[in-house]
Chains A and B, each alone.
Chain A
Amino acid sequence: MSTQSLQVMNSDTSSLATLAPTRAGKYLTFYLAGEEYGLEILKVSEIIGLQPITRVPRMPEFVRGVINLRGKVIPITDLRMKFGMGAEDSEDSCIIVVQMRGIQTGIVVDRVSEVVAIAEADIEDAPSFGSGIRTEFLLGIGKAGGRVKLLLDIDKVLATAEIAALQDAQAHAD
């Protein structure tokens, strides 16, 4: 437990550090339940089609399981489940493989959209309520091409996934 929480703390400070200088940059945008989200392109290592996912027992629901990525086993998180939108795979659903702190992990999204460059001036801090998701996952809200994109801090999204998984496992162990 202690090492795990330590990791989370580290991730917090590191993402704060990256957040401080600038949020401007290129973002990969994708759709989740009709809303458009953005993900820092530097964190994305590849996009693959949805494939059979092996369920891992006793994991929280948003952990879909694991897949084989060219010989490597990586965990898959379902963002819809994570954000409480209900699971729903479509033709366009795909897996974005992200690289965070050297760990590869995949997230399931409804549809990948495009890569956009967003300037710092076009990024606003997340409002404290009203966006339908918890704002601590957000780097900010970006405006590009006349649309609003919710810029995700993927480290935080997945770090909380880890905590939840851990708590779940512990609840079972007790």
Chain B
Amino acid sequence: MSPLNLDDAATLLMQLEATDTADLAVLRDALTDLAFENRVPLRAQPHVARAARVLGSVVNGTAADVSAAFAEVGQAIEAAMKASEGQVVEVGADPVAHAMSETVGGATAIAVASGATPSLTLALVDEVPPTPVVVATAAVATPALETSAVVPPVAAAPAVARNRQEDRLPDDADRDLLPDFLTESNECITNSEAALLQLEANPSDEEAVNTVFRAFHTVKGTSAFLGLTRIAEFAHEAESLLSRVRDKEIAYTRGCADLSLRSADMLKALLMVVEKALNGDGRMPIPEGFFELLDALAGYDPARDADGVQLAVSSGSDDIFPTLTDGADDAGALSGPVSGIAVARKPEAPVAQSANNASTGNSGSNADATIRVRTDRLDRLIDMVGELVIAQSMIAGDDTFGSGTQHELLRKVTHAGKIVRELQDLSMSMRMVPLRPTFQKLARVVRDTATKAGKTVQFVTDGDEVEIDRTMVDRLGDPLVHMVRNAVDHGVEPPAERTANGKPGLGVVRLHAYHASGNVVVELVDDGRGLHRDKIVKKAIEKGLIETDKGMTDSEVFNLIFAPGFSTAEKITDISGRGVGMDVVRRNLEAIRGRIDITSAPGKGTTFSIRLPLTLAVTDGMLVRVGDERFIIPLTHIHMSFRPEPSMLSTVVGKGEMVHLRGELMPILRLHRLFDVANAVQNPLDGLLMIVGDGAKRTALLVDELLGQQQVVAKTLGDGLGKVAGVSGGAILGDGRVGLILDVNETVALAQSTDCSAPRHEREAA
């Protein structure tokens, strides 16, 4: 395809009518290419992209006024041509290098506009395209190599005159395309982050550089196309830095790595802003630290920063959750006078790396072709397969086969059953995704936390190919980040302390996932200080959580750090620190039905092991019958069930019925009264008592009989009903009917707040 330039586009546009849809589409595609491929200067790109976008609306027939749209396209192309005029168009072999040189030109204009040389202002400002955003685009690109002659870096650094106003979502933004853009871009950035870490471990990994470069490039292209100029301009700067690395112009040093990772963060922040704007009022505030980072990117000088940019070593900060403001501060320090920057980091570069990633390299990036599917369609498919399984078992259970004369038919039905079961497995596996991306994100967390805390930590992962349910990945992420951060921040000792204790200076934090008896186990192991039993006990007694630790196992004691009182208290770094927000960790994990256990030895390290179900969609439940109805009680809530003896039952005045079991007195909850079920067992001696609930507040549920344990797929009870007290959802049982899944905690709370001493109809009759 012979590349079309702007002049061609303008000529072509004049020859075309609004009805030449096919030709207009070709022109639009050509313009899109122009905007994406760096064949026009950066400052012209937004105009070209706008032209393509408006033209697109003509092609799709969505333009309100075709002639006005045509005029707008014409203007946009004209503006683009103006923007690219007066530039030194020495189209090199490398389009990126070309774009770089254009950026430099833009920088000149900016520096002038900021008042450095007032006499030139008028002459040059005219050349800057009218869109203020574009002014910011060209903001202060001062790579010393190319532009020192034009603009001295120091003068350029504190540039003020740029568009600092917050943006708005463009009025003509395509709201249908934006969500896809956000998903895709976020994915790109996540990939690039992993590649950046890989690159840091192995700076000569060209494929990694290319991955990052491509990711930034894609974000830049699509965001420019969608009119999100600020993102495009930022991605361009980030891309430029990487292109210099790719072209071996600069080495990928520590400083460069810091900047690139920060750029990835900033892009994420920018995307989040767009997402908020899309769901909200369209305002797009500029993330903090944006301009500082932009300056740092543009003004990156390898000679100056080779040993590492002074970043993120704000020791003494008790904030273990760095936010964007950190970036602002640190990058702000960067953009200051040059003299303040040359402080090098500690020489022993702590490398936070995933051994797994480093060894497998990047082979995994494009290995599997994937397709994005809407989750509701997937859920529907799984529903249908579930129905198919029920229908199949109904056929297989048909009386026809009982007579033993239908061998041929039975054989066919059995064969169909096999296929159905395989289909069921397959459909369940479609929701499963590997833990790899989650683990990769944590590599970044380890790196940042270690740098911040002055630790040297090696991060090792294995088992990242283990798959868990898609919905659980999201919920697992936060607790893991928290725990990994804690492990690095509090668990692993500083290098000096480690060597003093005869340990290697390099701490190890290991994340390990594997399957165990139908569960997925994620273990976080560190070889740090370990937990101090005595100190935890002391603290817990102080807090009134326990009275004495007599008879408590180590594991029970360590589990105390999950108690809410432990974390909301003042800082507890004096007992090796675990516990900041650990109650939140446990709550999040419980929400996905995970269990967490701690083992620890003082001086040796700590292991957190998280046990998770394979999928959230399936609940292990006990099917019970109460009168005419059946309920499913989640197994995790059941301690035991037994048939009571008369001697165990007693009535406490005003407290209802109680059952006495091994020294523990528990209230009896009659489900049939609470839920008004007919034909249920009245006398506890005729039924079964099921002990549910946790800790000191255990309750005995009276049920008629246990029908058996089964795995059920939990579903909501239909949106029309809203929240039903005491019921967490429904499940399709083997006979195709719906069974209700009991929310045990809620049911118990409900029983305590309701007078259910007699069934409702009896009360009404009385």
Please, which residues of chain B bring their CB within 8 A of the CB of A63? Answer: 721
Please, which residues of chain B bring their CB within 8 A of the CB of A57? Answer: 674-677, 724, 726-727, 740
Question: In the complex, which residue of chain B has the Cβ closest to the Cβ of A170?
Answer: B725
Report the tally of A-B residue pairs with Cβ distances under 8 A.
94
Give A71 to B722 CA distance when docked, in angstroms.
19
Question: In the complex, which residue of chain A has the Cβ closest to the Cβ of B715?
Answer: A73
Is B738 a contact partner of A73 (Cβ separation < 8 A)? yes
Chain B nearest CB from A168 CB (Å) reads 10
Is B738 a contact partner of A66 (Cβ separation < 8 A)? yes
Give A61 to B18 CA distance when docked, in angstroms.
62
Question: In the complex, which residue of chain A has the Cβ closest to the Cβ of B671?
Answer: A57
Chain A nearest CB from B384 CB (Å) reads 6
Is B737 a contact partner of A72 (Cβ separation < 8 A)? no
Interface hits, B717-734 → A, CB 8 Å:
717-727, 729-730, 732
Asked if A162 lies at the interface with its beta carbon under 8 angstroms from chain B, I say yes
Is B738 a contact partner of A67 (Cβ separation < 8 A)? yes
Is B674 a contact partner of A73 (Cβ separation < 8 A)? no
Is A59 a contact partner of B720 (Cβ separation < 8 A)? no
Chain A 41-59 per-residue mask, 1 if CB under 8 angstroms from chain B, else 0: 0000000000010111111
Give A66 to B738 CA distance when docked, in angstroms.
7
Asked if B383 lies at the interface with its beta carbon under 8 angstroms from chain A, I say yes
Asked if B753 lies at the interface with its beta carbon under 8 angstroms from chain A, I say yes
Asked if B386 lies at the interface with its beta carbon under 8 angstroms from chain A, I say yes
Known: A57-B675, A73-B732, A103-B719. 17 other contacts (CB 8 A): A54-B740, A57-B674, A58-B675, A58-B724, A58-B725, A63-B721, A65-B738, A71-B380, A72-B383, A73-B715, A73-B717, A73-B718, A73-B738, A75-B718, A166-B722, A169-B723, A173-B725
Is A71 a contact partner of B387 (Cβ separation < 8 A)? yes
Please, which residues of chain B bring their CB within 8 A of the CB of A161? Answer: 720
Is A59 a contact partner of B724 (Cβ separation < 8 A)? yes
Asked if B629 lies at the interface with its beta carbon under 8 angstroms from chain A, I say yes
Q: Interface residues, chain B, CB within 8 Å of chain A?
A: 380, 382-384, 386-387, 629, 674-677, 715-727, 729-730, 732, 736-740, 750, 753-754
Instruction: Write 28 A-B pairs (CB below 8 A) sorted by A numbering.
Output: A54-B730, A56-B717, A56-B721, A56-B727, A56-B740, A57-B674, A57-B724, A57-B726, A58-B675, A58-B676, A58-B724, A58-B726, A59-B721, A66-B718, A70-B384, A72-B718, A73-B715, A73-B717, A73-B732, A74-B718, A74-B720, A103-B719, A103-B720, A105-B718, A105-B720, A166-B722, A169-B722, A172-B750
Is A66 a contact partner of B722 (Cβ separation < 8 A)? no
Chain A nearest CB from B631 CB (Å) reads 9
Chain A nearest CB from B614 CB (Å) reads 20
Chain A nearest CB from B760 CB (Å) reads 9
Asked if A32 lies at the interface with its beta carbon under 8 angstroms from chain B, I say no
Among B386, B726, B737, B738: residue with most chain A CB under 10 A? B738
Q: Is the interface of A mostly helix, strand, loop or mixed?
A: mixed
Asked if A15 lies at the interface with its beta carbon under 8 angstroms from chain B, I say no
Please, which residues of chain B bring their CB within 8 A of the CB of A87? Answer: none
Give A70 to B384 CA distance when docked, in angstroms.
6
Please, which residues of chain B bring their CB within 8 A of the CB of A73? Answer: 715-718, 729-730, 732, 738
Give A59 to B726 CA distance when docked, in angstroms.
12
Please, which residues of chain A bring their CB within 8 A of the CB of B675? Answer: 57-58
Closest 5 CB pairs of A and B: A71-B383, A57-B675, A105-B720, A54-B738, A73-B730
Please, which residues of chain A bring their CB within 8 A of the CB of B674? Answer: 57
Is A68 a contact partner of B724 (Cβ separation < 8 A)? no
Please, which residues of chain A bring their CB within 8 A of the CB of B384? Answer: 70-71
Please, which residues of chain B bring their CB within 8 A of the CB of A104? Answer: 718, 720
Please, which residues of chain A bring their CB within 8 A of the CB of B629? Answer: 54-55
Is B718 a contact partner of A173 (Cβ separation < 8 A)? no
Q: How many residues of A contact B (CB 8 A)?
A: 30
Contact with A72, one of B715, B725, B736, B753 (Cβ below 8 angstroms): B715
Is A66 a contact partner of B717 (Cβ separation < 8 A)? yes
Once A67-B738, A173-B753 are accepted as A-B contacts, the answer to whether A158 and B727 lie under 8 Å apart by CB is: no
Chain B nearest CB from A150 CB (Å) reads 22
Please, which residues of chain B bring their CB within 8 A of the CB of A74? Answer: 718, 720
Give A158 to B380 CA distance when docked, in angstroms.
25
Give A75 to B715 CA distance when docked, in angstroms.
12
Give A75 to B723 CA distance when docked, in angstroms.
12
Asked if A165 lies at the interface with its beta carbon under 8 angstroms from chain B, I say yes
Asked if A10 lies at the interface with its beta carbon under 8 angstroms from chain B, I say no
Chain A nearest CB from B246 CB (Å) reads 49
Please, which residues of chain B bring their CB within 8 A of the CB of A162? Answer: 720, 722
Chain A nearest CB from B623 CB (Å) reads 13
Asked if A4 lies at the interface with its beta carbon under 8 angstroms from chain B, I say yes
Chain B nearest CB from A4 CB (Å) reads 7
Please, which residues of chain A bring their CB within 8 A of the CB of B725? Answer: 58, 169, 172-173
Question: In the complex, which residue of chain A has the Cβ closest to the Cβ of B721?
Answer: A75
Is B724 a contact partner of A54 (Cβ separation < 8 A)? no
Chain A nearest CB from B629 CB (Å) reads 6
Give A4 to B722 CA distance when docked, in angstroms.
9
Please, which residues of chain B bring their CB within 8 A of the CB of A71? Answer: 380, 382-384, 386-387, 732
Chain B nearest CB from A172 CB (Å) reads 7
Interface hits, A9-63 → B, CB 8 Å:
52, 54-59, 63
Is A165 a contact partner of B721 (Cβ separation < 8 A)? yes
Give A30 to B435 CA distance when docked, in angstroms.
54
Please, which residues of chain A bring their CB within 8 A of the CB of B726? Answer: 57-58
Give A66 to B736 CA distance when docked, in angstroms.
12
Once A66-B730, A70-B384 are accepted as A-B contacts, the answer to whether A54 and B739 lie under 8 Å apart by CB is: yes
Give A58 to B738 CA distance when docked, in angstroms.
17
Give A70 to B716 CA distance when docked, in angstroms.
14
Please, which residues of chain B bring their CB within 8 A of the CB of A75? Answer: 717-718, 720-721
Give A20 to B717 CA distance when docked, in angstroms.
33
Give A70 to B750 CA distance when docked, in angstroms.
32
Please, which residues of chain B bring their CB within 8 A of the CB of A172? Answer: 725, 750, 754
Is B753 a contact partner of A165 (Cβ separation < 8 A)? no
Give A162 to B559 CA distance when docked, in angstroms.
43
Please, which residues of chain B bring their CB within 8 A of the CB of A67? Answer: 737-738
Give A67 to B727 CA distance when docked, in angstroms.
15
Please, which residues of chain A bring their CB within 8 A of the CB of B730? Answer: 54, 66, 73
Question: In the complex, which residue of chain A has the Cβ closest to the Cβ of B713?
Answer: A71
Chain A nearest CB from B122 CB (Å) reads 56
Question: In the complex, which residue of chain B has the Cβ closest to the Cβ of A57?
Answer: B675
Give A39 to B33 CA distance when docked, in angstroms.
53
Chain B nearest CB from A38 CB (Å) reads 21
Give A78 to B724 CA distance when docked, in angstroms.
18
Chain B nearest CB from A97 CB (Å) reads 11
Give A55 to B629 CA distance when docked, in angstroms.
8
Chain B nearest CB from A16 CB (Å) reads 21
Among A63, A65, A66, A71: residue with most chain B CB under 10 A? A71
Give A70 to B388 CA distance when docked, in angstroms.
9
Give A56 to B382 CA distance when docked, in angstroms.
24
Among B676, B729, B737: residue with most chain A CB under 10 A? B737
Please, which residues of chain A bring their CB within 8 A of the CB of B750? Answer: 172
Please, which residues of chain A bring their CB within 8 A of the CB of B383? Answer: 70-72
Please, which residues of chain B bring their CB within 8 A of the CB of A55? Answer: 629
